[in-house]
Amino acid sequence: MFLKKIKSEGLSHNSYFIGSENEAVVIDPRRDCQVFIDIAQQEEMTIKAIFETHRNEDYVIGSIELAQRTGAEIYHGSKLDFKYGQALEDGQEFFFGKLKLTAIETPGHTDESMSYTLADMDTSEKPIMVFTGDTLFVGDVGRTDLYGPNEAPRLAEELFDSIFNKLLPLGDEVIIYPAHGAGSVCGGDISQREESTLGIERTLNPVLQKKREEFIKHKVSEHHSRPTYFLKMEHYNLEGPPIFYNLPIPRPLKPKACWEQMKQGAIVVDTRKPPAFGGAHIKDSISIWLERIPSYAGWILPYDKPILLVLEDKNYLENAVRLLYRLGYDNITGYLVGGIEGWYKQSLPVEHFGLLSVHELKRRLNQENSLFLLDVREENDWEQGHIPGSVNIFSGYLQNRIKELPKDRPIVVICKVGNRASLGASILSQAGFKEVHNVLGGIIAWKNAGYKITKL
């Protein structure tokens, strides 16, 4: 038996490649699917089937391209009318090599959510592993808010039943393989640790310690962000996304060519880190640090305009493209040759932010009345602790709520560490706000410095 987890960093998403005796299946393949073909060749296996745990909302699934290139069949849950692939029945079995995969309906995260158990027939017919999709994570459970607040109680009940009546009874010894790890937008409190079993979760997962009513109440009261690109993903993952076979190839653009394209409406995304962006950036560019593309891009970037990239290092290009491609951005047409240095060597317009340490922020808050402190974290983070006097608008909503901000006061943007605040500050700057600052280290540094926090 061969089992490999394929992680998509940033999304904290896991695909799984499972094989035995030259036959393999893939669970939840990501869009850039060459990786599965490479593993199959390395292991001398044919991918016979692709199983989706549910219609994923946070990335474009690669099932169709992978199926086209390998001849595999695609399978889903039956409770959603997918435009491709085949619907599974609860309990349906699938044999490959010496393995048996069994489909289990585990609704709750979504109606069509499936889990898949795996038995090693060499040992026993008893399942020893379960692929839990977005139903059960290490240290947390799937979110139940995707159908809106009215449906949340029903979904929370179903999730409870799926976990307690269908998963946990498989046995304490069963190893779990969820669709997400820590950092995913699909679960608030997933553990940094990846290894777990049903027994560990049954006894140590905090959410599973709750009684049914308590569990439902907890789930219904949760706040999760729901990035705007989810709609696009849901559409793509229902209908099937465009197929490209290879990553898009953005062109290297000299600074002046880049500027010309900006004038024609191209969006410039600067993927450098906040200190570099704050230090110097192209006027009107948007700050999204490379590693946070999976988290922030889908809130902000349009699908219908060309996107140009500014990179710290040209070797980051492929990764930037890959991360955007997974979110359905196929419109990355160019990148700035020579990076920001290439730009400022041409004496083209450069802007800076104020970059404040928390100590500087403290001093200025003490001294300046006019300072407007904008906290761009999500609402429930803000509620759980913020700097007194700060106003909360989540960075994902900033473009729409920008009129609520005063144009005549210096604005200091703060978040948890400084990345979202850099994004927020870049949005303000683009909107014409003149004096904008980002707080390096954010609330974490503020707390580490021992400064005061208020709860709501």
Binders in 256-285 for a second copy, by CB under 8 A: 272-281
Annotated catalytic residue 415:
yes
Q: What is the DSSP letter of 291?
A: G
Measured from the CB atom, the residue of 231 and 249 that comes closer to a second copy is 249
Task: Decide whether 230 or 344 has the Cβ nearer to a second copy.
Answer: 344
Pick between residue 136 and residue 156 the one whose CB is nearest to a second copy: 136
Cα(240)–Cα(231) distance, integer angstroms: 13
Per-residue binding letters, 13-32, with a second copy (x by CB under 8 A): ---------x----------
Shortest distance, position 251 Cβ to a second copy, whole Å: 5
Q: Which of 212, 251, 305, 434 binds a second copy (CB under 8 A)?
A: 251
Whether 269 and 285 have beta carbons less than 8 Å apart is answered as yes
Query: Both tokens of residue 306?
Result: 């060309």
Which of residues 88 and 286 has its CB atom nearest to a second copy in the complex?
286
Q: Is 369 helix (H, G, I), strand (E, B) or coil?
A: coil
By C-alpha distance, which of 293, 282, 285 is closest to 320? 293
Nearest approach, Cβ of 95 to a second copy (angstroms)? 15
Q: How far is the CB of 155 from a second copy (least distance, A)?
A: 26
CA distances 368 to 9, 361, 442, 450, Å, are 41, 10, 19, 21
Stretch that binds a second copy, among 84-92, 349-357, 388-396, 402-410 (CB under 8 A): 349-357
Strand, coil or helix: what is 212? helix
Pattern 319-348, a second copy, x by CB under 8 A:
------------------xxxxx--xxxx-
In the complex, the smallest distance separating the C-beta of residue 275 from a second copy, rounded to whole angstroms, is 4
DSSP strands (E only) in 211-327 = 251-253, 267-270, 281-282, 286-287, 307-310
* Cα-based angle 109, 113, 117 (whole degrees, multiple of 5): 120
Binding region for a second copy (CB under 8 A) out of 167-175, 209-217, 298-306, 368-376: 167-175
By the 10 Å C-beta count (0-12 exposed, 13-18 middle, 19+ buried), 327 is classed as: buried
- Count of residues that interact with a second copy, criterion CB under 8 A: 86
* Among 393, 407, 186, 395, residue whose Cα is nearest residue 301: 395
- Which residue do the tokens 């303000």 mark? 428
Strand partners, 418: none
Q: Which of residues 385-444 bind a second copy (CB under 8 A)?
A: 417-418, 440-442, 444
The answer to whether residue 41 forms part of the interface with a second copy (CB under 8 A) is yes
Window 78-107: residues binding a second copy (CB under 8 A): none
Binding to a second copy, residues 365-384 (CB under 8 A): none
Q: Are strands 99-105 and 93-96 parallel, antiparallel or unpaired?
A: antiparallel
Q: Is 406 exposed, middle or buried (0-12, 13-18, 19+ CB in 10 A)?
A: exposed
Which of 13, 125, 4, 90 lies closest to 58 in space, CA to CA?
Answer: 13
Q: Which of 81, 245, 432, 455 binds a second copy (CB under 8 A)?
A: 245
Least distance in angstroms from the C-beta of 66 to a second copy: 11
Residue of 33, 186, 258, 415 with catalytic role: 415
**Region near a second copy per CB under 8 A, out of 74-82, 109-117, 356-364, 407-415:** 356-364
Q: CB 314 → a second copy: shortest distance, Å?
A: 5
Report 168-227 residues binding a second copy (CB under 8 A). Answer: 171-175, 191-200, 202-204
Report the alpha-carbon distance of residue 167 to residue 169 in Å, rounded: 6
The minimum distance between CB 440 and a second copy, in angstroms, equals 4
Residue range at the interface with a second copy (CB under 8 A); choices 52-60, 140-148, 292-300, 352-360: 352-360
The residue (of 124 and 264) whose beta carbon lies closer to a second copy is 124
Would you say 226 or 364 has its CB closer to a second copy?
A: 364
**Distance of closest approach, residue 383 Cβ to a second copy, in angstroms:** 22
List the interface residues with a second copy, window 102-141 (CB under 8 A). 120, 122-124, 126, 128-129, 139
Decide whether 444 or 456 has the Cβ nearer to a second copy. 444
Asked whether 274 and 421 are in contact (CB, 8 A), the reply is yes
CB 285 within 8 A of CB 270: yes
Q: Cα–Cα distance between 352 and 283 in angstroms, integer? A: 9
Alpha helices in 82-206 (DSSP H): 152-161, 198-204
Of 314 and 407, CB closest to a second copy: 314
Active site (catalytic) residues: 415
